[in-house]
Amino acid sequence: MPPLSIEVWSDVVCPWCYVGKRRIEKALEQFDHRDEVELRWRSFELDPHAPPERPPRESANDRMTELAASEGLEYHLDRARGANSFAAHRLIQRALEERRQDAMKERLMRAHFTEGASIGDPETLVKLAAEIGIQGRAALREQRYADAVRADEELAARIGIRGVPYFVLGRRYGVSGAQPSELLLQALEKAWEAQVAA
């Protein structure tokens, strides 16, 4: 039987998406068939028209920071600079080829939400990619990675995804939003049972 596919549409500048990443990780830790799962991060831009960088917000969202902390995440939203995330998604597409996609996604999100790094800046992106062994300049230069980002976004539009994070399990079940890990675990079990029965 093929592995159970988990496809997650999310954006690296979306605070709920980082929470959703932690929650699917917790669900997978409790999932009996976690070694038979294939997780793929799909591209989604919350604001495709965003400039390369925006200044940090003057007031941090305390509630979001506390919620993130409950999932083991350290948010410094007063430092987080909003940015156009298209180039960052190109790195994640490149990392898929190297089986380092999750590490790239994690590094970009931590850089944005915890460290206040400018993820719209190409030099910053190249440095972050190098930290996990990815050739960032190639990802930012080669058209195929841009095409892969657009393909993910077109697929999201066809499926009807309008907000992120959005989880598609086994190409059968969709879960919208950063749902609690318990609910994600239930969805994983349901998707697994459906795949076994198919």
What does the DSSP assignment read for 17-30? HHHHHHHHHHHHHH
Share of the chain above pLDDT 90, in %: 88
What's the domain count of the chain?
A: 1
More confident residue, 80 or 141: 141
Residue 58's pLDDT is what?
54
Under the banding of pLDDT at 50, 70 and 90, the label for residue 59 is low
Sheet containing 166-169: order of strands: 37-43, 4-10, 166-169, 173-176
Q: What is the mean pLDDT of residues 142-155?
A: 98
In angstroms, the first-to-last Cα distance of the chain is 10
Question: Which of 63, 109, 106, 59 shows the shortest CA–CA distance to 83?
Answer: 109
Please report which residue ranges of the chain form alpha helices under DSSP H: 15-30, 62-70, 86-97, 101-113, 122-131, 136-141, 143-159, 181-197
Q: Can you tell me which residue has the tokens 């083991």?
A: 72
Of the two residues 36 and 57, the one the predictor is more confident about is 36
Q: pLDDT tens, 154-180? A: 999 999 999 999 999 999 999 999 999
Q: Which domain holds residue 47?
A: 4-197
pLDDT in tens, 114-140: 999 999 999 999 999 999 999 999 999
Domain with residue 88: its CATH number is 3.40.30.10
pTM of the model: 0.95
